[in-house]
Structure 1
């Protein structure tokens, strides 16, 4: 989704192609969001876990294929982070609804998304569509996407649940911290974009 004037996305040069394998995978991830939400709210945990696992695998594959075969596209740069955020939002809502995680954790992560929305709104005033995706933001997403299925598996009294829950919370805390670190990095990038536009000579 996110590019700056001074740098193309970390995935390499982008194209305007729409019908590519990575884009199809990203679209299928989006289709899985309502399926996942239904499954987690109705306690069909096996379906929820399988959907979340499929999302994680497709997320890895679409990036790998796009970089390997030069199929990075602007559409893909929009769909990929959108799918990530929708899965995180629906998982947060579902887990909090079932009282597996506290609502204050939901507020902490949603607050970061609101902050990023404000940052993006500011840079759009300067003609900037988005910001470059960086490793910290992707690492935060991966941590959270690992945390959620483990926390869901930890919702029980079995010996399997007893080890899944602490590992899930470890991923959740690392993901939350990295999520906010990434947010601060986006703010710094946004300030650089604004400063560069203000310093640019006025044409005409």
Structure 2
């Protein structure tokens, strides 16, 4: 089990902060139809997401802040990029709503878990794969706009990744829901057993 520190300034946390700062830049470039530069920014953002995780694990820089900051930036990055792409007609709004609804559901689980004494659920590997697929789908969709000559190839690949990522996203969400229900039931049973003991 890797130790989790309370440090704030680490390389992974700095990379997450950089990724956060790149979000408004990407949206501005996308809105200005500077698709080439928007593609560069989104690729850098996607790469830093994987690099910071590797550094955190490889060099024992896993922190409490990073455990919260990294997934939060991932969600914000995906949401803002989805909205930007839908606004520029790269994606339909129904797909954006479908992805956002899944995370709204996960947010609703947080207070339920907290009420029963549990913190956030650990990230499931399926959720990581789904995020990976979406993080690659988004720049692939921009690729066709930046280089129209390859759009006939990049657009189907981007759509395949986006749809597959969305499917896995909801599958992971179902796993989180099942785990939440299990933990809540266990807590209720434990509390019931404790009440019976006190009564005796």
Q: State TM-score, norm by structure 2.
A: 0.90
Is the contact made by 2:39 and 2:146 (CA closer than 8 Å) also made in structure 1? no
Answer with 1 or 2: which has the greater Rg: 2
Distance in 2 (CA, whole Å) between partners of 1:37 and 1:62 is: 23
Q: Deviations over 1:85-105 (max 9, x none)?
A: 111111111111111111111
Q: Higher helix share goes to which structure?
A: 2
Higher relative contact order (CA 8 A, sep 6+): 1
Take 1:89 and 1:115, find their aligned partners in 2: how far apart are those partners?
15
Question: Is the Cα contact below 8 Å between 1:155 and 1:165 reproduced in 2?
Answer: no
**Superposed, which structure 2 residues align to 1:1-204 within 5 Å?**
12-155=2-145, 158-201=148-191, 202=194
Query: What is the deviation of 1:172?
Result: 0.6
Which runs of 5 or more structure 2 residues have no equivalent in the other structure? none
Q: Tell me whether 155-164 or 126-135 shows the greater mean CA deviation.
A: 155-164
8 A contact 1:153–1:161 mirrored in 2: yes
Unaligned runs of 5+ residues in structure 1 are 1-7
Aligned mates of 2:185, 2:17 — CA distance in 1: 35
How far does residue 138 in structure 1 lie from its aligned partner after superposition?
Answer: 0.8
